[in-house]
Amino acid sequence: MSEKKLEKYVATLVEEKISDRPDLFLVEVKMLPSRKLMILVDGDKGIGIADCAAISRFVGFKLEEDNIIGEAYNLEVSSPGIDAALTLPRQYTKNIGRNVGIKMLDGSKREGTLKNLDNDNLIIEEKVKGEKGKKAVVTESSIPLSQVTETKVLISFK
């Protein structure tokens, strides 16, 4: 089975397992060259170890039962790390109110508080430098997702 077909099959298994949990959602399934099958699942309020273990057992059992992967592999089920880029609309919604760093297509970077995801636009509140000698002004900006290459939640230890 090709890697893409395997990833699609595993995604179907995960969706089946979490179908009774509307608070959970699949972020990504990836078979890495190291033969690690990585499944990233998140939840509107996060995901616990018990949920990850249950998904792992279910998927692992089905893969073994159907003899899908012929060689040794490692199965890892986790939530995306705090430093992982946001990819799904649901991840943006989950992080409303948090500070985000945004890399733009033109290479520039922007920072602000995520206020909303409206259609295909990120709404952020950011400080914009005023003219020389004037204070920065807080303004709400709408950024088309088509102009964004990466959005990450910024972690503050203050």
Per-residue confidence (pLDDT) for residue 86, from 0 to 100: 93
Q: Is the dihedral of CA 152, 80, 122, 88 positive or negative?
A: positive
Q: Can you tell me the distance from the alpha carbon of 18 to that of 56, in angstroms, rounded to the nearest whole number?
A: 12
DSSP state, residue 34: T
One of 3.30.300.70, 2.60.120.10, 3.40.50.300, 3.30.565.10 is the CATH number of 3-78, namely: 3.30.300.70
Q: What is the pTM of this model?
A: 0.82
Each of the 158 residues of the chain gets a pLDDT tens digit; together they read 788 999 999 999 999 999 999 999 999 999 999 999 999 999 999 999 999 999 999 999 999 998 888 888 999 999 998 889 999 999 999 999 999 999 999 999 999 999 999 888 999 999 888 777 778 888 999 999 999 999 999 987 77
Task: Say which CATH class 89-153 falls into.
Answer: mainly beta
The domains of the chain are located at: 3-78, 89-153
Q: Can you tell me the distance from the alpha carbon of 144 to that of 79, in angstroms, rounded to the nearest whole number?
A: 27
Task: Give the helix/strand (H/E) hosting 150.
Answer: strand 148-153
Per-residue confidence (pLDDT) for residue 70, from 0 to 100: 80
